[in-house]
Amino acid sequence: MITIARLTFREMLNKKILQLGLILTVLYLGVLGLGLYYIGKDIPANAEVVRMTLAGELLTAGLFVSGMLVALVTVFSSAGAISSDIESGIMLAIAAKPISRTQVFLGKYAGLGLALVVYSLLVFVATNMIVWRIFHFHSDGFFGAMVLFALQPLVLLAVSLWGSTFLSTLGNGVFMFMLYGVAVIGGMVEYVGVQMSSMALNAASATGAASSLTMIGILTSLLLPVDSMYRLVNYLLLQGGPVPEQLIRFTPFLTITPPSLEMLVYTAGYTLLFIGFGIYKFSRRDL
């Protein structure tokens, strides 16, 4: 398994999708830094509350785009990780005895996962450093948020590798993008529902609509819990930062009630379950 992981990691570093992702990431960070610089320089020095609140808003927005970049690189790099090797005939040589298919699957997951975690850490740290440099924004929850952000691609990777065992590269890529899009939109729908509930609307129709929206968001987070992890990342950063608590609720990329410990346990179980599904499906597929 270690040999497969090492070879997969090296292959990942040589993939054009990672190189293209790094180029786009650098361009994105450059645009982000330039935009934040012009925003920050117009804020009066004595308007500290405005500065910190705006920094929190822009940080969560920046991490939203950063998370999308990580998701794009994850899907593009893993959609054909197994299916393309099967279609080209390479898998016949890789999965020859005494190497089991379980070792092949876990090796690919470990190799791709390591590369994606490193990429996620770089993107997260760079985004936070830009906001810190311009707005002097710091958070006590930085390290916890960093770990959670780096673990997001591992969830996507587990599902994508599972899909790669029985779908074509194109089909799996489309499937993953649709699933990720549903999760992100569901998170926004849940935010709207929670906001409506918190506004203490008395109308029965408004209360019912808020409950329905919240339930839709919860169900989509169960389909793919990546968006819940992203919102917990933002919650940790803002709760541990200098943004006034009464203003945090108006951040569109944050949830007022952050995902619970049970949701984190569910996410871990979800990831392990799809790794198991992938191993099972791969072990029974004709090469």
DSSP-assigned states of every residue in 65-122: HHHHHHHHHHHHHHTTTTHHHHHHTHHHHHT-TTS-HHHHHHHHHHHHHHHHHHHHHH
Number of neighbours of residue 225 by Cβ within 10 angstroms: 24
Rounded to 10 degrees, what is the CA torsion of 158, 75, 178, 127? 100
For residues 175 and 228, what is the distance between their CA atoms, to the nearest angstrom?
20
pLDDT at 156: 96
For residues 209 and 189, what is the distance between their CA atoms, to the nearest angstrom?
11
Number of neighbours of residue 173 by Cβ within 10 angstroms: 19
Phi, psi dihedral angles at 166 (to 5 degrees): -140, -5
Label residue 38 left, alpha or beta by phi (over 0 means left) and psi (-120 to 50 means alpha). alpha
pLDDT tens per residue, the chain (287 residues)? 788 888 888 888 888 888 888 899 999 999 999 988 888 887 777 777 777 878 888 888 899 999 999 999 999 999 988 888 888 777 777 766 677 888 889 999 999 999 999 999 999 999 999 999 888 888 888 999 999 999 999 999 999 999 999 999 899 999 999 999 999 888 888 777 766 766 655 455 556 666 777 778 778 888 899 988 888 898 888 876 666 555 555 566 666 667 778 889 999 999 999 999 999 999 887 76
Domain residues for 192?
2-283
Query: Where is 201: in which H helix or E strand?
Result: none
Two structure tokens written together for 178 = 């649709």
**Token match 């308007």: residue?**
47
Count of domains forming the chain: 1
Number of neighbours of residue 17 by Cβ within 10 angstroms: 16
pLDDT at 240: 66
Angle between helices 226-239 and 48-78 (to 10 degrees): 150
**Token match 């190189």: residue?**
19
Name 209's Cβ contacts closer than 8 Å, sequence gap at least 6: 193, 196
Question: Cis peptide leading into 98, omega within 30 of 0?
Answer: yes
For residues 264 and 173, what is the distance between their CA atoms, to the nearest angstrom?
26
